[in-house]
């Protein structure tokens, strides 16, 4: 199972998913501190900084496999 995370914050959902054996392939977080934490925990993931510019072309640059099972999760303020 692969995970795409939007509004990721410091990665609470992603860390739980990692403990379940799921692979975080992409995160999107605008806050620089949150992105640094995500990069620490998920160095092989693609980290994007603005949901307004996240698109299919960027998804293709990540490790996302469109034919694999994917969960899209999102945080909230």
Instruction: State the pTM of this model.
Output: 0.88
Indicate the pLDDT class of residue 74, thresholds 50, 70 and 90.
very high
CATH number at residue 17: 3.40.50.150
Strand (E) or helix (H) holding 58: helix 56-61
Cβ atoms of residues 30 and 49 within 8 Å: yes
**Token pair 């990692």 is at which residue?**
18
Q: What is the mean pLDDT of residues 64-69?
A: 95
**Strand order, beta sheet including 23-28:** 46-48, 23-28, 2-6, 70-74
How many domains are there within the chain? 1
Report pLDDT for 65: 95
What confidence tens digit (pLDDT) does each residue in 2-54 have?
999 999 999 999 999 999 999 999 999 999 999 999 999 999 999 999 999 99
Report pLDDT for 76: 80
For 37, the domain range is 2-74
Report pLDDT for 4: 96
């Amino acid at each position: 199972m692969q995970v795409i995370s939007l509004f990721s914050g410091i990665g609470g959902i992603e860390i739980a998913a990692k403990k379940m054996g799921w692979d975080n392939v992409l995160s999107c977080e605008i806050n620089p501190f949150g992105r640094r934490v995500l990069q620490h925990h998920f160095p092989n993931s693609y980290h994007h900084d603005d949901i307004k510019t996240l698109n299919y072309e960027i998804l293709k640059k990540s490790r996302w496999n469109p034919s694999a099972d994917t969960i899209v999760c999102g945080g909230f303020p």
